[in-house]
Amino acid sequence: MEIKELHARFLECTSASTDTRKIKQGAMFFALKGDNFNGNSYAEQAIKLGAKYVIIDEEKFKTSSKTILVNSVLESLQQLASFHRDYLNVPIISLTGSNGKTTTKELINATLSKKFKTTATIGNLNNHIGVPLTLLSMNKNTEIGIVEMGANHLKEIEFLCSIAKPDYGYITNFGKAHLEGFGSTEGVIKGKSEMYDFLIKNNKTIFINGLDPIQVEKTKGTKTFSFGNNPKDFDVEINFIEAQPNVTVNYNNLSIESHLIGEYNFNNIAAATAIANYLKVNDSDIKKAIENYIPTNNRSQVIQKASNKIILDAYNANPSSMKAALLNFDKLNDKNKMVILGDMFELGKEAELEHQEIVNLLDTLNFDKTILIGENFYKTKVNFNKIKQFKTFDDFKNNFDSLNIGNETLLIKGSRGMAMERVLELL
């Protein structure tokens, strides 16, 4: 079936779905395949659950007029999303980066939704499936789309840009993330900059942090809107008070007090503020949006649990974000500071070095207690009087009572695969 005809069918549907557990009445279901499943086998079930059409790529599952056979379900999903994007002709803001993508996306959405009807990436559905689903969630009511893009290999951002065709773009930063796939920090810079390449080639607008020399260098001579302390376009200042971890941002004689902790969140707030200002959102609405934003999903959450104050930053971790979180935690005036860290994943051959670098940093910060969990942290050389190591989370759990954790201010951080939020269940 031609994409144009498939799109006409899609317009009859209420939504796009790839998961029968979350399917909505009237949805178009895409029967994707994975390493351990074949979505085609769920075609009949999807129809029973209310799907209006089911897109399949194996003929034996074509059982009715509701099943539409294509060469590749994944490619059809991506092509349909790109066609739908052109059909709506909605301005798209894309963003990627090593750290802070999702928080920045949520802040941009919060500020822009004060003036526009926005559609943004849900959660972190930012890959070759998530981006198409985000585009297909937009409709004629959408005035601005906000699309987060993630990548762990070269050419992925290039491909996602070819689907979403953004009008604006922002890269949060270039850090030590997904080194296993990108090969090096230089590979990270090259891979993330594929967004710049698309925007420059198509004469689109790039938002940049004027304090980041890589962003400035990569976009020299192009169409940019910069922000930061004393940039050419938008002046925004940070006011970080050591005894009070929440970040306050000042601009246009306004003081915006966020619920976000850590100086590293300044850039995320500043970016959202600058982009909203560029798109003519009222200053008072920007302030209200930032101040009403409460972090969730294990991202920079401050939680009181029994006698412990917890900074839960356990959604993910890489060497750049881990270092930033530790240095920020060190600045807090709280007493009885304790860190519980889990392994950082996807570092490839750099894993041993990067975990040791974090341990070396910990040796200079003088926290009252430090606990390291995971095979990589277990291999590091540490000052045993200061740091306790556990090879697995179960080892930590089995020894938890002997650790005497109470009346602490804790920072909990680790890669998603470590699921460090499980510590909360023990406290």
Half-sphere exposure in the Cβ direction for 190 (13 Å, CA):
11
129 and 46, same structural domain? no
**Residue 85 confidence (pLDDT) above 60:** yes
Question: What is the mean pLDDT of the segment spanning 154-167?
Answer: 96
- Whether 84 is covered by a domain: the verdict is no
Query: How far is CA 52 from its chain centroid?
Result: 32
172 and 120, same structural domain? yes
**Residue 100 confidence (pLDDT) above 50:** yes
207 and 138, same structural domain? yes
Q: For residues 27 and 13, what is the distance between their CA atoms, to the nearest angstrom?
A: 5
266 and 130, same structural domain? yes
114 and 60, same structural domain? no
- Whether 339 is covered by a domain: the verdict is yes
Sheet containing strand 67-69, edge to edge, reads: 16-17, 28-30, 53-56, 67-69
H or E stretch at 370: strand 369-373
pLDDT score for 178: 63
Question: What is the mean pLDDT of the segment spanning 327-352?
Answer: 90
Q: For residues 116 and 308, what is the distance between their CA atoms, to the nearest angstrom?
A: 40
- Whether 79 is covered by a domain: the verdict is no
- Whether 269 is covered by a domain: the verdict is yes
Q: Is 327 exposed, middle or buried (CB count within 10 Å of its CB: 0-12, 13-18, 19+)?
A: middle
132 and 16, same structural domain? no
Q: For residues 341 and 413, what is the distance between their CA atoms, to the nearest angstrom?
A: 5
Domain of residue 172, CATH code: 3.40.1190.10
Instruction: Please name the residues in contact with 115: beta carbons below 8 A apart, sequence gap of 6 or more.
Output: 276, 279, 280, 281, 282, 285
- Whether 15 is covered by a domain: the verdict is yes
- Whether 155 is covered by a domain: the verdict is yes
Nearest one of 377, 264, 370 to 325, comparing CA atoms: 264
pTM: 0.84
250 and 324, same structural domain? no
pLDDT score for 240: 45
155 and 281, same structural domain? yes
* Domains in the chain, number: 3
Question: What is the mean pLDDT of the segment spanning 21-38?
Answer: 93
Give the model's confidence band at 335: pLDDT under 50 very low, under 70 low, under 90 confident, else very high: confident
**Residue 298 confidence (pLDDT) above 80:** no
215 and 343, same structural domain? no
- Whether 83 is covered by a domain: the verdict is no
pLDDT score for 242: 41
31: domain range? 3-71
- Whether 371 is covered by a domain: the verdict is yes
Question: What percent of the chain clears pLDDT 70, i.e. is strictly above it?
Answer: 94
Residue 31, token pair as written in the block: 């029967």
Domain of residue 388, CATH code: 3.90.190.20
